[in-house]
Amino acid sequence: METNTASELEKFMAENKGKRKFTQSVELAVNFKGIDFNKPENRLNMSISLPKGRGKESPVAIFADEQRLVDAAKETGAKVIPSSELEQIRSDKAKMTELLDYDMFAQPSLMPQIAKALGQFLGPRNKMPRPIVGSDVKGILGKAGGSISIRSKGKYLPTVHCTIGTEAMPANDIAANVDQVVSDISKKVGKQNIKSVYLKLTMSKPIKIM
């Protein structure tokens, strides 16, 4: 991040933090140009590891039936949700709402079932589980607290939103997370296709940082 932008970010954080009775999240909006997100090949579905974490830890859950995934999840302390419970969760709004507190992953073969049962609830909230890819299941689940998902959604508008920290984090840490998100997205779509980047706290007005 450029020096003047980093200074503006530090000033913005100092002016807006601590004004609410709760710890506000730091939210990022990335706007694009020259990309047709109606085309499936252009849609974003990324997992980004934040170098400074998210400022708070969320419990981890995994939808899984395969024994290797179940065993790995138990070793990391993650909650295991078998496919047999999907319909029960679907019919219980309280159970669905409880899922929003978790970082969620899934056995890839279960994704269609999850989408059918819970997609209408989780999808609009950007909380669909990420499929487990690769053999290092414990590593993936263990690092979950410091990663975020970037997904195109809605009517595939040329923008994505994500939470990259909390107001309790130092401004330098927020800047490092911003740089990581923008860098990873740029590698995917090309820096020339990023129109602008805005940052805000939960209850603040946004500030343009790129």
60-144: what fold? Rossmann fold (3.40.50)
Which class for 27: exposed (0-12), middle (13-18), buried (19 or more C-beta within 10 A)?
Answer: middle
**CATH classification of 3-44+152-208 is 2.40.50.140, yes or no?**
no
Residue appearing with tokens 């024994």: 67
Mind listing the pLDDT tens digit of every residue in the chain (210 residues)?
777 888 888 898 888 888 888 888 899 999 999 988 888 888 888 888 888 887 776 788 999 999 999 998 888 888 999 999 999 999 999 999 999 888 889 999 999 999 999 999 988 877 889 888 877 888 778 776 677 878 877 667 788 888 898 899 999 999 999 999 999 999 999 999 999 999 999 889 999 998
Q: Distance between CA 109 and CA 17 in Å, rounded?
A: 43
Residue type, 70: V
Label the pairing between strands 103-106 and 60-63: parallel
* Residue 85, Ramachandran bin (φ over 0: left; ψ between -120 and 50: alpha; else beta): alpha
Write the CB contacts of 81 (distance below 8 Å, at least 6 apart in sequence).
61, 62, 63, 64, 89
Q: Where exactly does CATH 3.30.190.20 map onto the chain?
A: 3-44+152-208
Q: Where exactly does CATH 3.40.50.790 map onto the chain?
A: 60-144
